[in-house]
């Protein structure tokens, strides 16, 4: 993948994070939870693109992320936990009609997403793919 495609995927993550923040501000917590998950998925995909890996599914993205970034020490095990937690919460938000989240729930999730974003950006900057202002 070229750097433009990697940057575009990172930007999509930033857009999903911005959408999650706006939805949270509007007290649309289930939708905010879903967008927060997709922000992290886009950040994961941007990292995978640096390895010329184009996952065909969410599961494939998670497997490749763990193999190429967590197990190699480039991303922490905490990032894997964030991803797993968000996947579970997104499924609840999207598919469980009784799921209810509150402002504190989404605030905690958004903090985790911003942490994931920062770690992703750090790796992309180290590789010379994006500059610090991309955030």
Q: Which CATH class is domain 3-134?
A: mainly alpha
Per-residue pLDDT at 122: 95
Per-residue pLDDT at 130: 79
**Residue extents of the structural domains in the chain:** 3-134
Q: For residue range 107-135, what is the model confidence (pLDDT) as tens digits?
A: 999 999 999 999 999 999 999 887 665 54
pTM of the model: 0.94
Per-residue pLDDT at 1: 78
Distances (CA, A) of 63 to 3, 10, 37, 77, 135: 23, 19, 16, 13, 26
Positions of the chain with pLDDT under 70: 131-135
């Amino acid at each position: 993948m070229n750097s433009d495609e990697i940057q575009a995927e990172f930007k999509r993550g930033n857009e999903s994070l911005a959408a999650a923040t706006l939805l949270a501000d509007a007290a649309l917590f289930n939708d905010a939870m879903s967008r927060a998950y997709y922000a992290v998925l886009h950040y994961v995909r941007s990292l995978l693109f640096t390895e010329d890996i184009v996952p065909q599914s969410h599961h494939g993205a998670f497997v490749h992320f763990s193999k190429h970034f967590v197990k190699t020490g480039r991303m922490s095990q905490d990032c894997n936990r964030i991803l797993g937690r968000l996947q579970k919460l997104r499924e609840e938000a999207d598919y469980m009609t009784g799921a209810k989240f509150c402002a504190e729930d989404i605030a905690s999730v958004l903090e985790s997403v911003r942490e994931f974003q920062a770690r992703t950006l750090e790796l992309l900057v180290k590789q010379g793919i994006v500059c610090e202002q991309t955030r």
